[in-house]
A = this chain, B = another copy of it.
Amino acid sequence: MGKISEMEMESCIPPGFRFRPTEEELVGYYLKRKINFLKIDLDVIVDIDLYRMEPWDIQDRCKLGYDEQNEWYFFSHKDRKYPTGTRTNRATAAGFWKATGRDKAVLSKNRIIGMRKTLVFYRGRAPNGRKTDWIMHEYRLQTSEHGPPQA
């Protein structure tokens, strides 16, 4: 599942439609189906290996065919561990993602279905590094109040 998919999104959405999902749709439909190995109608969210990519390389992998895009969507595994064990979990070659603020609940019909963590990309190595403008929202399913995160 960490493998980079080479599939292109097939263009079967009529003109004028844009992918502007709500957080409820992202978590309750896309992430939930992905984790449960269920078919997703359209491969609009690609699989990437986040910690082997720099944020500025993600755009090309995740673009949807229209120009004005300034948000990109992808699936990636968290907590990828390497046998050599020298890299921290959220590091890339050029920098690292660092969490900021508090996690936020994603609701569906007043019920918590997932959590959102916000991360900022820093160039360099922790605890140093220069903050950039790249922001990531990381979503995970949340099935029970104190259950383990699932994605």
Tell me the A residues contacting B by CB distance below 8 Å. 13-22, 25-26, 29-30, 40-42, 44
Contact = CB atoms under 8 A, between A and B. Distances in A.
Number of copies: 2
A87 to B, nearest CB: 33
B26 A17 contact: no
Contacts of A25: 15-16
Nearest to A28: B15
A8 to B, nearest CB: 16
Contact of A44 (B16, B19, B26, B42): B16
Nearest to A18: B20
Contacts of A22: 16
A42 B18 contact: no
A107 to B, nearest CB: 14
A67 B73 CA distance: 22
Nearest to A22: B16
A20 B20 CA distance: 9
Given A16-B25, A18-B18, A20-B20, 20 more contacts: A13-B13, A13-B17, A14-B40, A14-B41, A14-B42, A15-B25, A15-B29, A15-B30, A16-B19, A16-B20, A16-B21, A16-B26, A16-B29, A16-B30, A16-B44, A17-B17, A17-B18, A17-B19, A17-B20, A18-B20
